[in-house]
Structure 1
Amino acid sequence: MAKYFDVHPENPQRRTIGTVADSIRSGALIAYPTDSCYALGCQLGNRDGIGRIRSIRNLDDRHHFTLVCQTFAQLGQFVYLDNDVFRTIKAATPGSYTFILPATKEVPRQLLHPKKKTVGVRIPDHAIAQALLAELGEPLLSSTLLLPGEEAPLTQGWEIKERLDHVVDAVIDSGDCGTEPTTVIDFSGGGVEIVRKGAGDTSRFE
């Protein structure tokens, strides 16, 4: 049964965030709010968590997982950035964007796209996500909480708790955080490809 945490959306309770972070370090898979709908998250090397995310979302090995980072400096440890891409991404973060980039050796192999050796990265503009990342001191391995066969992500913490009670370990509820997922921008092919138009403004990349 998943633990349920009711957290203030703008001033998250530090003790609660600390409790959730400790559970992540102990192998928990959580559902948490971001600036573009809820996400599933676990620690980077958590093989069981990765497997459960794949099972919950019915994902194949071509799915791009996302490393949700607290800062740009942290993001830079996990992906390769040339100067132009560096400036472009820095200007757009934090925000509702996921960027696909070539991964460094810091990223576990099971998270990489099998052919491209790429990974998704993002820096959320959301108080709870940022507080959790600050407490953890490392990125969260994440994937949008979109269930198989459904067109819209789950947006209410109580509903997530109800529907995923036996497959996640904790749910953070901070109220509705929207249904629109991130805009996905792929820089891995040498140019700029808008893979998905979502919550982030695409005009700066067009």
Structure 2
Amino acid sequence: MRLNRMNRLSIDEIVDIYDKLLEEQDYELRDIVNIEERLVRKISRDRHSEYRFSLQRIKDSLIDHLVKYGSYLKTEYRKDDQLAEKTLIKALKFDKTNPIALYRLGFLAYKKRNYSRSVYFFESALKSHELNEKHRHALNSQQRYNASLYLCNSALYVAEFAQKSLAEIEGEVERENSVNLELFPLYKYIK
């Protein structure tokens, strides 16, 4: 169904389409995501909707589908990293601390060699998992290991970049005596 036509439908009409799709089990994940997004938007706007009590359940289902769809989009079967990233970021709009969405965004950033961004996502995924190990999208042991490993590697790439930048300007400025910086023990190896 065309999205602009769906925007004109009532909540009841969208729910009927949604139920029919789920019942027939003949749908694409993106169709379910689009319908759930519209339902969340319409129900959120209508304070008197009889569906208000279902809003959180619909949001949870939407998050599940966004994570699943975003993961599918980055697989070898689809390979649409840009759409996968948009979909996973959309999942974070509904659940800012979703560990698996953050984790997968970390890999997408790493793949693009955006190491500072991958540091952010991997670190956020690990912290989110740590704060709520019972989250529906918690990381398993292998994912926590991978996130930690890629976080370290990404951070080293960031450190290497920073070191090269520092080396380029070191001759141009004198290190002030007032700078009292305790250097990280591995600094000499990075240098």
TM-score (norm 1): 0.26
**Quick one: higher RCO (CA 8 Å, sep 6+), 1 or 2?**
1
Larger radius of gyration: 2
TM-score (norm 2): 0.27
Higher helix share: 2
